[in-house]
Structure 1
Amino acid sequence: MDLEEIPGVGAKTARALAELDDPERALRTGDVATIARAPGISQGRAARIARGAIRLEHDDPGGFLATDRAREIYRDVLTLLQERTVTRDAAQRLETFYPSSRRSRIEQARAVARDALERDPNPDVLAALEGVEPLVEPGDVRVRERCLATTDAERYSEAREAVPELSTEIVDDAQGLAELARGYATVIALDESFAGVTIEGDVRVRPDALEEPAEIVPERALAFFARNRDRLAAAIDVHRAAGLESEVDCDLDALEAALERLEGDGTVAGDDELDRLRRAVDDVDAAVGTAENVANDQLREAIQEEDVTIEGSDLLSLVERGAGVDSLLSRELADEYAAAVEAAREELCDALTLDTGETEIARRVFGDEPTFPVERDEDAVARLREELTTAKERRASQLKRELAGELADQRETARGLVQDALELDVELAIARFAADFGCTMPEFVWAGESGAAAGTSEPDIGFAIEAGRSPLLDEPLEAIDPVDYEVSGVTLLSGVNSGGKTSTLDLVASVVVLAHMGLPVPAESVRLRRFDALHYHAKTQGTLDAGAFEATVRQFADLATGGAGSLVLVDELESITEPGASAKIIAGILEALTENGATAVFVSHLAGEIREMATVDVSVDGIEAVGLVDGELEVNRSPVKDHLARSTPELIVEKLAGEAAEDDAVANGGEPVGEQFYDRLLEKFE
């Protein structure tokens, strides 16, 4: 795929997309989250790019939504869908569903919608989805206690590119390697020539190191999984709650267990030995101090209880030799001192839970030569701390390598788990929308197309809606009267004020938009043709000035000459100018639309006048008011075919005539007086 061929993608954006691991897959599947990981591309921009890629795939020219009101309808129904997502990414993913005139795209989206209607949006799945987000890269990972070393400049460049997390150094010989070993905890030599060379420090000869990055820099894999640990855990919960069968081969239990061993900072948890070493390193000074106190307390008590007798000649001899209390301890309290030191050593080893090798080092912290007070050997303490720290780092590195080995090859698996969960959120939003608005999948009549489905014997069908309820009405579904309406060709829709003409147009527009998005529609049954475009002209507020009027007429001129295959919905176009002129203009527009084969519904209070002026047969449907009850209209919301609906004024005059007849009968013994006036008015409506 040539990225610059995608509508809206220039050279700069194409370069950013090319940095993704598999941009073509992301674009082909509408993976907004992955596209948004490209440098400088936001989520909203990613959704537009994904739409552009879909259009390119289906050779879709776009422009289905031909007017502002048509675009408003799309945004309104899309918002209703997005409100039913749990994750922000799924809401953005729904932006890739757009009304298209291309059958291949409609069918592609319908396949997704059919699967979605099989989904069960149960509360456990929705709750689990709350923690799912697209996976992110952890940023630059730097490891400072480890380095790579080589004598070859070409190998040096290769190592820097393959393992940027570690410093790479060039050395001339074994002496240079030894110098590095004094500055780094671990040095990994990439040259086979260093094999067998003995160098003090942790120096490993690994000519294959660049082929096994998880071995030499396990932090790479661990940082990714640590950064995304909670997101992956949530995705695992979603898969289990939904019984989701992923396309990726993944042992959820094994992955979950590995994640539980990983701390948020990328270190490994849940290992008793590492925990012991960490505590020991942290507690060395405190444990030595406590052990020192144990020895001194025990020795002090022994001295207090011991009755020591020194003859004069012995005391003189000790003084002449410069001996002090240490000599007295050695002579008189050797056993007590040895016991006190042993108690200190046992206390230190027990407090730090040291193993056999560490115990040997720890015992040197307190010497055998008697002193009072008993004092630690600082060099021995430092040696113990160094030994414990080295053991801790060695154990941590081993665990990192083991865990990284388990996780290194699961990065794409992890992405697949999260992607599947986010796709499920999209499907559940469609399912919830369908349930909330009583939706069904529409049936398309693919007239005039190769491979047309059954039913193409009806090429003149526009749309046929049974029990439709507009999702745009701010009413509970059960409070909305269902509407049946079928149109083929060009039709005028008449009806009383507030009878539901505009909401009927909104219903038709919503059904057509959703159907061309490939999604379920709010009705019990819908059959429709594939339209090339939707032209929805909303009601104009007030008479237009000359310039605006001219622009409006130009729009219809373009539509009349190039609108074949379009659906045209117009709400009270007569408001653009004087009623007499409006009727003539609308009649001329309807004539042109009839000739080019468009499907159109024009709402108008001048339906009768327009029909009389038109030179072609124009159907007139009516939303009929049953009557007035307590001042409120009772309306049959479903348009009646080939019926010019009575206006609200006619109904009011008819009501007044009936009331006047009753009043005159009471007042004048049955002789109608006021009734005659109303009857005369009613005759004007005939």
Structure 2
Amino acid sequence: MDLESIPGVGTKTARALAELDDPERALRAGDVAALARAPGVSQGRAARIARGAIRVEHDDPGGFLATDRAREVYRAVLALLQARTVTDYAAQRLETIYPSPSRSRIEDVRAFAREAVEREPDPAVLEALEAVSPLSEPGDVRVRERCLATTDAERYTEAREAIPELSVEIVEDAQGLAELARGYSTVIALDESFAGVAIDGDVQVEPDALENPAEVVPERPLAFFARNREPIVAAIEVHRVGDLEPDCDLAALEAGLSRLEADGTVAGDDELDRLTVAVDDLDAAVGTAESVANDQLREAIREEDVTIEGADLLSLVERGAGVDSLLSRELADEYAAAVEAAREHLLEALALDTGEAEIARRVFSDEPTFPVERDDDAVSRLREELTAAKERRAGRLKRELAADLSDQREAARTLVRDALELDVELAIARFADDYGCTMPEFVWTDEEVDGDAAEEADGGDVGFRIDAGRSPLLDEPLEAIDPVDYEVSGVALLSGVNSGGKTSMLDLVASVVVLAHMGLPVPAERARLRRFDDLHYHAKTQGTLDAGAFESTVREFADLAQGGEGSLVLVDELESITEPGASAKIIAGILEALDDNGATAVFVSHLAGEIREMAAFDVTIDGIEAVGLVDGELEVNRSPVKDHLARSTPELIVEKLATEADDAMRANGGDAVSVSEPQFYDRLLEKFD
């Protein structure tokens, strides 16, 4: 796929996408998380790029949602789907599912949705999904105690690109390598010519190091798993409670993660913990050991009676001897005991092994001094020994753990991706369950059906049929919404009383058509429709339009009338754009053009009778019929009656008044004063005939 052929993808973005492992797979699958890993691409932009790629793949011209109201309906049903997601990823992923006129795109999503609606939204799975998020690359791993060394400039450039986590140094000979070894804990020589050269320090000759970066810098895979530990663990839980089939050994992956600290170090090793504590506590332990020795020696001096003969004192003074000589002569045993106490405290406090203890004993000299003081050189040597041992141990453990985990990196990605995709499926399943949805049946035209098609063409005049549909746009619980049936082939006028549900019917039709062309289940017990090229939904206009706005509206319908074949047109009370008489004529003309072009259309109008009289063809009028008035409220059969002009609300009210007047007159025995009232109402009712 040519990345720059995708709408909205320029040269810079195409280069960023090309850095992904498999950008074409991510684009085809609508994998927003993978696309968002490209430099400079946010999740929202990734969703837009995925939509563009899908349109290119399915030769989708776009523009299915041809009006503002059609786009509002799409955003409303999309919001209902997104409200049922747990993760941000799933909400963004749903943005890649849009209404399309392309049969191949519709069928792709339908296959996905059929499996999705079979999912059971287990509360345990939904809870586990809360901690799942797309994986991220650390990108900030730097290892300062190791370096790579080479004598070759090309090898130097190759090493910097392959292993950017380590410093890369150019050396001329073994002497240069030795100098590096004094500054780094470990030097990895990339040139085979250094093999067999004896150099002090940890120098490893590994000509194949660039081919096995995880062994050279195990921090790379460990940082990835440390950064993404929480979502991976959560994805493992999703697979377990959701009874999903993983592509990896969950127990092994979980065991590896349990050995990893949040900072990428290895957890659960007693020896490494001992060395870490020893390095961290060294200065404090030495200071305390000093205090132990001096406190003990001071106490010994207080308690000891020291007598010095005059000749001895003179001899000490003449030799320039000080208190150290005095200690050596008079308190040698007490000094030795104090120093030994300091050494024992240091060894015990740091839990040193035999080799380390030998170095530690040199921290306090056998030569008497007061106060007792540490040997800083010995402390430094001990620190170097402990640090080197710690790094060797940590390095070995890191390499072992990295070896266990690095092979599971792609498996972990798949594990998390599958968990996130499950959230998308569960959102669709929950939506379908909440609104009593079913997968709609498409009736393809002859041109859309090949010899192997599962569904047969059924004529080009099929529009839509909805059985027991409930509009998801109504702000009511599902059980409070009356199910409605409606079917239209060709052009129809929809009449009915005010507040009878005409606009809600258009919303239902639009919702069903939008969801069906998204490839998703629709809110009905059954739905059957043709594939439409586009949806034109015109909402009710508030107030009469001025001349300019009126002209613009007429022009819009003129364009639609020229190319309306394959369109679904829904219009709510277009007569409000101008005077009623002129409106009826204009609507009649529009319906004639749409009928000529083979479009499917439903126009809601209170002027249905007048429009039918002016139309040059036998336009169908359907009616949402009010059964009557109960306690001042309309009682309505909300499913339109075919070929029926519904009575208006004023007619029902006048009829109610006439009936009540007749009943009152009979109750009063035909009182002359009351006779004129029913006659008046009867006269008004005649005007509706």
- Fold in common (TM above 0.5): yes
Cα distance in 1, alignment partners of residues 170 and 303 from structure 2:
67
Aligned to 2:687: 684
Moved more, 417-426 or 286-295: 286-295
Residues 237 and 539 (structure 1 numbering): CA distance in 2 closer, same or farther, change over 3 Å? same
State the match for 2:401 in structure 1: 403
Q: Which moved more, 1:339-348 or 1:524-533?
A: 339-348
| C-alpha contact (below 8 Å) 2:496/2:623 kept by paired residues | yes
Shift of 1:626: 0.7
Q: Give the structure 1 partner of residue 358 of structure 2.
A: 360
* Secondary structure in 2 matching 1:637: strand
Structure 2: tracts of 5 or more residues without a match = none
Inter-partner Cα distance in structure 2 for 1:482 and 1:500: 11
Aligned partner letter, 1:227: R
Q: Is the 8 A contact 1:623 1:637 kept in 2?
A: yes
1:377-400 deviations in whole A, cap 9, x for unaligned? Answer: 222222112211221222222222
Determine the structure 2 residue equivalent to 1:606.
607
Write out aligned runs for 1:82-481 (5 A): 82-246=82-246, 249-302=247-300, 326-327=324-325, 329-331=327-329, 333-448=331-446, 449-451=448-450, 452-454=453-455, 456-457=457-458, 459-481=460-482
Task: State the secondary structure of the residue aligned to 2:412.
Answer: helix
Q: CA RMSD in A?
A: 2.2
Match of 1:673 in 2: 676
Does residue 39 (structure 1) correspond to residue 42 (structure 2)? The answer is no
Partners of 1:376 and 1:494 in 2: CA distance: 101
Aligned to 2:504: 503
* Aligned mates of 1:450, 1:653 — CA distance in 2: 54
Write the deviation string for residues 588-634 of structure 1: whole angstroms up to 9, x where unpaired. 22222222222111111111122222232222111000111121111
CA change 1:669–1:180 in 2 (3 A) is same
Report the counterpart of residue 652 of structure 1 in structure 2: 653
> Bigger shift: 305-314 or 576-585?
305-314
Residue 445 of structure 1 contacts residue 453 of structure 1 at CA under 8 Å; is this kept in 2? no
**Higher deviation after alignment, 133-142 or 494-503:** 133-142
Whole-Å Cα distance in 2 between the matches of residues 178 and 211 of structure 1? 25
Q: Which moved more, 1:85-94 or 1:254-263?
A: 254-263
1:313 to partner: Cα distance: 6.8
- On the 8 A contact 1:461/1:488 being kept in 2, the answer is yes
8 Å CA contact 1:464–1:485 kept in 2: the answer is: yes
Q: What amino acid maps onto 1:5 in structure 2? A: S
The CA distance in 2 between the partners of 1:11 and 1:310, in whole Å, is 94
User: Tell me, what secondary structure is at the counterpart of 1:25?
Assistant: helix
Tell me the CA shift for residue 74 of structure 1.
0.5
Query: CA-to-partner distance for each residue in 1:58-105, whole Å, 9 max, x for gaps?
Result: 111111111111111111111111111111121111011111111111
Partners in 1 of 2:593 and 2:306 — Cα distance?
A: 130
- The offset of 1:306, in angstroms, is 5.4
The structure-2 alpha-carbon separation of the partners of 1:285 and 1:91, relative to structure 1 and needing over 3 Å to count, comes to same
Aligned AA (1:404) = A
Match of 1:631 in 2: 632
Q: 1:582 to 1:372 in 2, by over 3 A?
A: closer
CA distance in 1, matches of 2:518, 2:156: 54
Once the two structures are overlaid, the 10-residue window that deviates more, 50-59 or 157-166, is 157-166
Aligned partner of 2:591 in structure 1 is 590
Higher mean displacement: 453-462 or 625-634:
453-462
CA distance in 2, matches of 1:236, 1:589: 59
User: Given residue 565 of structure 1, which amino acid in structure 2 is its aligned partner?
Assistant: G
Q: 1:374 to 1:487 in 2, by over 3 A?
A: same
Aligned residue type for 1:649: P
Q: Which stretch shifts more, 421-430 or 301-310?
A: 301-310
Identity among equivalent positions (%) equals 82
Q: Provide the C-alpha distance between the structure 1 equivalents of 2:304 and 2:183, rounded to a whole number of angstroms.
A: 53
SS across alignment from 1:522: coil
| SS of residue paired to 2:25 | helix
The superposition leaves residues 106-160 of structure 1 with CA deviations (integer Å, 9 ceiling, x where unpaired) of 1111111112112222222222222222222222332232221111122112112
In 2, Cα distance between equivalents of 1:183 and 1:327? 41
1:289 counterpart letter in structure 2: G
In the aligned structure 2, how far is the partner of 1:647 from the partner of 1:423?
50
Deviation at 1:322, TM superposition (A): 5.6
Structure 1 window deviating more from structure 2 (392-401 vs 623-632): it is 392-401
* Matching residue's letter, 2:655: E
8 Å CA contact retained: 2:189, 2:204: yes
1:509-532 residue CA offsets vs partner (Å, 9 max, x unmatched): 001100110111111111112212
* Cα distance, 1:665–1:189 mapped onto 2, change above 3 Å: same
Deviation at 1:252, TM superposition (A): 2.1
Give the 3 Å change call, closer, same or farther, for CA 376–547 of structure 1 in structure 2.
Answer: closer
Count of matched residue pairs = 684
Task: Give the CA deviation at 1:337.
Answer: 3.8
Q: Do the aligned partners of residues 333 and 442 (structure 1) sit closer, same or farther apart at CA in structure 2, a change above 3 Å counting? A: same
- Any idea what the Cα deviations from partners look like across 1:550-578, whole Å, max 9, x if unmatched? 32222222222311122111111222222
> C-alpha separation between the residues in 1 aligned to 2:537 and 2:469?
19
Aligned-partner Cα distance in 1 for 2:589–2:379? 102
Verify the 8 A CA contact 2:496 2:502 in the aligned structure 1: yes
- AA at the equivalent of 2:479: E
Contact 2:444 2:458 in 1 (8 A): no
TM-superposed CA distance for 1:46, in Å, is 1.5
Partners of 1:446 and 1:453 within 8 A in 2: no
- Matches of 2:547 and 2:306, distance apart in 1: 126
Q: Relative to 1, partners in 2 of residues 1:4 and 1:315: Cα closer, same or farther, differing over 3 Å?
A: closer
User: How far apart, CA to CA, are the structure 1 residues paired with 2:66 and 2:342?
Assistant: 89
Q: Determine helix, strand or coil for the equivalent of 2:601.
A: strand
CA distance in 1 between partners of 2:166 and 2:126 (Å) = 42
TM-score normalized by structure 2?
0.94
1:300-348: CA deviations, max 9, x gaps? Answer: 4555555667677766766666655555554555444433333322221
Is the CA contact 1:664–1:673 (under 8 Å) kept in the aligned structure 2? no
CA distance change for structure 1 residues 319 and 579 in 2, over 3 Å: closer, same or farther?
closer
1:553/1:360 Cα in 2 relative to 1: closer, same or farther (>3 Å)?
same
SS state at 2:362 partner: helix
Q: Tell me how far 1:548 sits from its aligned partner.
A: 2.4
Q: Distance in 2 between matches of 1:462 and 1:512?
A: 10
CA distance in 1, matches of 2:371, 2:161: 59
Q: Secondary structure at the match of 1:636?
A: strand
Distance 1:321 1:615 in 2: 136
Corresponding residue of 2:490 = 489
Q: Report the equivalent of 1:558.
A: 559
Checking the alignment, whether the CA contact within 8 Å between 2:449 and 2:456 is kept in structure 1 is no
- SS of 2:33's partner is helix
Higher mean displacement: 302-311 or 31-40: 302-311
Q: CA deviation at 1:373?
A: 4.0
Change (3 A) 1:12 1:302: closer
SS in 2 for 1:365: coil
Unaligned 5+ segments in structure 1 are none
Q: TM-score, normalised by structure 1?
A: 0.95
